[in-house]
Amino acid sequence: MPDRYRNFANSAVGRQLVRRLGLPRPSPLRRQRPDAPALPGPVLLGGHDVAELEHVLAKRLSAEVHTAETKASAEARYAGLVFDASDLTTIAGLSELYAFFHDRLERLASCGRVLVLGAIPDETGDPEAAATQAALEGFTRSLGKELRAGGTAQLLRLAPGARDGLDATLRFFLSYRSAFVSGQVVTVAATEPGEVPDPARPLDGKVALVTGAARGIGAVTARTLADQGATVVCLDVPEAGEKLATVAGDIGGSALQLNLATDDAPSTLSRWLEERHGGVDIVVHNAGITRDKTLARMDAKRWDSVLGVNLAAPHRVTADLLDRGVLRDGGRVVVLSSVSGIGGNRGQTNYAASKAGLIGLVRALAPGLAERGITANAVAPGFIETRMTAAMPVMEREAGRRLSSLAQGGLPVDVAETIAWLAHPGSAGVTGNVVRVCGQSFLGA
């Protein structure tokens, strides 16, 4: 359903009216086009030692890079502002953040990107250093809520040695692929950088499984992974067979009709993937259902079905794929959580419990899987424009759209692009993370 308020607020008459009334004016977001460069404009770097970061951006990502010392013209507009604060160890040193951003935010282009690089507070070994690094989170999240014109801000916490594997993460967060992702804190471990012969098709040779692929976010995710080179297995329940076949046919993938809530579904799926493809490299647990009621009015069937589909099935399927060795070394597991699992939602105790459980699942899986180079992450969408949100009462729908820093709903492609980044060979150091695709929702921390 079109966002009529956003369209009106950006019209000639609407701009004046919303300004006078003090209403939010959501800026149209730019999203990545296939023929567009990965980085849409010059990037300004600041911090203690930016030489290595400058090399990554300029040489490996083909970005136009300026340093803070560059005497750029007063008219220069930057697509990105990147500050390396990973060496800050004193509270007084935080003033460098102020000095860098204070005079330069006005030169951030529409839909510009802000990235702050930090260290992991618990690994600093010093109370003041830990406090200094922890302060970066509050700074970045608050700055994200101050940016205008579709701008976003993120904090990347880097383990020692993580810089060599930053290409894919920098490309994602500085590009329009991260249009609806803001205020996020992502931890990046040290890993060997993944080899990607063709940056336009980083998933060439990979087999991806997407559950719930017949419609909505699942269908768009299947298409996005296929566009980046993956062979996609599209899975959904038999009742969605016709739509599932259409999606699989459109992307040159295969369709598998299977109810994952049945007892033998995990073993059936593992055998099918092994027989047809010799294994799987990317597993996207997208399938999910809602059966909303307040807890006092919720019958046991509603509770059991939501927990069974949303949480038990991903757990059982992942365990079976790992036990049988069907999920190959270097693989990726991505689960679809929700901001409801982080902040809670009235009438969704079952749904929120299942989505919070998925976060616990990937955090528990990640350390043990690291030995095999497998990552496990959660993506938590906020208000996304889907068939489900289009059916909401109009006032609830409008509230959902406006209660974020970007003051609008996201699109399924925003979730799909985030999944594709986590599936990228160059994202090997990103594991155990929860990334919200919510426009920095005001609800849920």
* Structure tokens, 21: 């009334």
25 or 367, which is more confident: 367
Mean residue pLDDT across the chain: 92
Q: Measured between alpha carbons, how far is 158 from 160 in angstroms, rounded to an integer?
A: 6
Instruction: Say yes or no to pLDDT of 75 above 80.
Output: no
Q: Tell me: the pLDDT tens digits for 409-444?
A: 999 999 999 999 999 999 999 999 999 999 998 765
Instruction: Say yes or no to pLDDT of 73 above 60.
Output: no
Long-range CB contacts (< 8 A, 24+ apart) of 119-122? 119/86, 119/87, 119/157, 119/158, 120/157, 120/158, 120/159, 120/187, 121/157
> What pLDDT does residue 280 have?
98
Helix (H) or strand (E) holding 43: strand 43-47
* Structure tokens, 29: 């977001």
Query: pLDDT band for position 198 (50/70/90)?
Result: confident
> What pLDDT does residue 321 have?
98
Query: pLDDT band for position 354 (50/70/90)?
Result: very high
69: exposed, middle or buried (Cβ count in 10 Å: 0-12, 13-18, 19+): exposed
Q: Measured between alpha carbons, how far is 82 from 17 in angstroms, rounded to an integer?
A: 35
DSSP label at residue 199: T
> What pLDDT does residue 74 have?
58
pTM: 0.95
The CA-atom distances, in angstroms, between 425 and each of 195, 281, 327, 332 are 7, 10, 15, 9
Q: Measured between alpha carbons, how far is 267 from 320 in angstroms, rounded to an integer?
A: 7
Please compute the mean of the pLDDT values over residues 351-360 and round it to a whole number.
96
Q: Tell me: the pLDDT tens digits for 202-249?
A: 999 999 999 999 999 999 999 999 999 999 999 999 999 999 999 999
Q: Measured between alpha carbons, how far is 54 from 117 in angstroms, rounded to an integer?
A: 13
Residue 235: CA atoms inside 13 Å, Cβ hemisphere, count?
24
The structure tokens 């560059």 sit at 70
- Structural domains of the chain sorted by starting position, each given as residue range(s) with its CATH number in brackets: 1-26 (no CATH), 31-188 (3.40.50.720), 207-437 (3.40.50.720)
Picking from 140, 64, 77, 72, the residue whose alpha carbon sits closest to that of residue 108 is: 77
Are 82 and 115 a contacting pair, CB within 8 Å? yes
> What pLDDT does residue 69 have?
65
199 or 195, which is more confident: 199
Instruction: Say yes or no to pLDDT of 98 above 80.
Output: yes
Q: Tell me: the pLDDT tens digits for 8-41?
A: 778 888 788 878 888 888 889 999 988 788 778 8
> What pLDDT does residue 445 have?
47
Active site annotation includes 5: no
79 or 399, which is more confident: 79
Q: Measured between alpha carbons, how far is 445 from 316 in angstroms, rounded to an integer?
A: 29
